[in-house]
Structures are given as C-alpha cells and as structure tokens.
C-alpha cells in the first residue's frame, strides 16, 4: 500500500509540473504582444515605447525565456502566481474572487450528474424488459453528443424566455445556478451512466451472482449489496475526466448564462493574452484534476483490493 501511494503521489507531482511547463510554453508561443494589449494598444494607434519597456521590466518580460520560466516556477512553488497584465491584481486574488461561483456550479452539476446518471444505469441494468433497457441505454449517447452551448441556449429559450421559471442571465441563489448546472450535468451524467451501466452489466454475469440467486436472494438485494460495489470502480476512475469536463464546460456555460466565475475569467484572460491569469487557471485545473484522481486512487483499493496488487506488480516490473 505504501508503494502504491508513493507511485500515485509521484505521478501527481509530474502531472502538475507538466501542466505548468506546457502552459508556459504554449502561452509564450502565441502570436501577438500581451504587453501592448495590456497597455491598450489598438491597430493604427501609436504606443509610447518607453511605457511598453517599463511594463516589460515590471513583469519581468524583458528577461530571457528560461529565466522567466524559472522565476515563474519558483514563485508558483511558494504560492505566488504573479499579477494580471490587464488589471494588476494578483492572480490568486482574481481566482479567489471567481472560484466560489464556479464551485457552486460544479457542486450542483456533479450532484445532478451522479444522481441522474447513476439512477439511469441502475434502472437499465435492473429491468428485465428488453425494450425498456434499450430505451434507457440509448439516452446517454444522446446526452454525451449534444453540444453544451446548444443545450444551454435551448434551456434558456424554454425555461427562461417562455416559462419564465429561471433567470436568463446571471441570477443569484439556487435559481441562478439551476440551468447552468443542468446544462453541464447532461454530458457528465451521460458518461457516468454509460460507464456504470457497462460495469453493472459485466458484474451481473459473474459466477457469484448465480450463487446469490441460488441462496434465495432477491434481484434488488443482489444489485445493491453484491453487484453495485465492484461496478462502481470503473466509474470512479473517470472522476478526473468529470472534473475536466465541468471546468472546461464552465467557460461556455458561464458565457452563455452571463455568470461570473472561472469560465468568464478564462475567456477574458485568453482574449487579452493575460498570460499570468491563464497560467494560474491552468495550474488550478491541474491541481483539481490531481487531487480528485489522488482521492480516487485511495478509494479504489477499498472497493477492489486487486488494484494495489496490480500496481505493485507493475512497479516491480
């Protein structure tokens, strides 16, 4: 178990370093001058070269690229992600202001996705009616294939403009987050339903199920007490994908619904080529991805002890 934890922690550190380094390289290879954009430069408008040079020196952008990378990396290890080129605000401060709204959206999204997707998979694997099973299993592919922005606009048209049940843009409290959460929960719940149903269907064919039936156990008891636990493991392994889907989808959803959050902050920072802010958001996403996957890696051995044995064998190999 100790070796299993060491391997997973080492992988988490490697992912964080790769995310930071990759985002740094990509952002500095983009065309355009972020300093001129931050200074308010527009095509055809002259910019004071002295002001541009002063701003470059202030943010360390006049240094060699390797030195900029080393400075950014060492500061990030101390929790300092720099300052926004556009507003001058600290990156951690900008993220802290936008994070609560996105966290509320993500929490409701994952709750809806797990409840609805899990219920759909359980119902599809439990029923003995072939037509009903076929109907239930056909829904997740439709949900996964539907474009997020299209679903959001459709929900806006129906529940905001026609029925007037929820605010169309912004909105505070639970009502303001319901439609954005449903928009994001549809593709996430579809993935959960597909993976969980596949695990349930495979587990139902295991020999111990026949033994449980022979002992007189009911179908419902077998599903909840014997089938569900091992079937959940494959669904948990894609938890990192769920987090990535929610954070990436928040850019579209928060734009469609005019919500303040990490998504809107990302959109603004990318348009302005605000490198420190974009990189801070990339690091935040990587940290969330790593923490969720690390938590999943710790839970999986409790559901299936074979995971530790397999990982140990791979490490020895």
pLDDT of residue 246: 79
Sign of CA dihedral 37, 39, 45, 49: negative
pLDDT of residue 116: 92
pLDDT in tens, 86-121: 888 888 899 898 888 888 888 888 889 889 998 999
Regarding predicted confidence, which is higher, 184 or 297? 184
Per-residue pLDDT at 141 exceeds 80? yes
Percent of the chain with pLDDT over 90: 3
Strand, coil or helix: what is 309?
helix
Which residues are CB-neighbours of 272 under 8 A, at least 6 positions away? Answer: 34, 37, 38, 85, 86
pLDDT of residue 6: 80
89-93, 191-195, 309-313: least confidently modelled range: 309-313
11-25, 147-161, 166-180: least confidently modelled range: 166-180
Burial, 62: exposed, middle or buried (Cβ in 10 Å; 0-12, 13-18, 19+)?
A: middle
Class of domain 92-271 as given by CATH:
mainly alpha
Query: Average pLDDT in the 30-47 region?
Result: 62
The pLDDT confidence band at residue 315, using thresholds 50, 70 and 90, is very low
pLDDT in tens, 272-292: 778 888 888 888 888 888 888
Query: Average pLDDT in the 46-52 region?
Result: 68
pLDDT of residue 310: 47
Please give the backbone phi and psi of residue 83, each rounded to the nearest 5 degrees, phi first: -125, 150
CA–CA gap between residue 19 and residue 15 (Å, rounded): 6
- Please report, for the chain, the start and end positions of each structural domain, with discontinuous segments joined by +: 92-271
pLDDT in tens, 197-247: 988 888 888 888 888 888 888 888 888 888 887 788 777 777 667 777 777
For every residue of 259-272, DSSP letters joined together read --SHHHHHHHHHHT
């Amino acid at each position: 178990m100790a070796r299993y934890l060491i391997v997973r922690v080492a992988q988490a550190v490697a992912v964080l370093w790769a995310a930071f380094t990759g985002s740094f390289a990509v952002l500095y290879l983009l065309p355009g001058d972020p300093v001129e954009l931050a200074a308010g430069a527009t095509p055809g408008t002259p910019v004071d070269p002295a002001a541009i040079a002063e701003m470059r020196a202030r943010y360390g952008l006049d240094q060699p690229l390797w030195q900029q990378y080393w400075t950014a990396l060492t500061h990030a290890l101390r929790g300092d992600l720099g300052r926004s080129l556009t507003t001058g605000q600290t990156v951690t401060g900008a993220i802290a202001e936008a994070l609560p709204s996105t966290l509320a959206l993500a929490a409701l999204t994952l709750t809806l996705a797990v409840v609805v997707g899990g219920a759909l998979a359980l119902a599809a694997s439990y029923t003995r009616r072939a037509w009903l099973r076929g109907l239930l299993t056909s829904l997740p592919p439709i949900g996964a294939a539907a474009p997020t922005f299209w679903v959001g606009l459709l929900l806006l048209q129906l529940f905001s403009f026609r029925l007037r049940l929820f605010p169309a843009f912004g909105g505070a409290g639970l009502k303001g987050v319901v439609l954005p959460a449903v928009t994001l929960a549809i593709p996430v719940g579809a993935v959960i339903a597909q993976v969980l149903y596949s695990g349930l269907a495979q587990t139902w064919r295991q020999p111990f199920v026949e033994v449980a039936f022979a002992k007189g156990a009911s179908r419902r008891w077998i599903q909840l007490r014997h089938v569900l636990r091992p079937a959940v493991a494959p669904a948990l392994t894609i938890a990192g994908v769920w987090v990535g889907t929610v954070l990436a989808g928040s850019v579209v959803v928060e734009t469609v619904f005019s919500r303040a959050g990490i998504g809107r902050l990302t959109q603004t920072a990318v348009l302005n080529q605000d490198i420190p802010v974009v990189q801070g958001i990339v690091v935040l996403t990587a940290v969330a991805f790593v923490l969720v996957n690390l938590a999943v890696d710790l839970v999986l051995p409790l559901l299936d002890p074979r995971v530790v044995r397999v990982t140990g064998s791979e490490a020895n190999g």
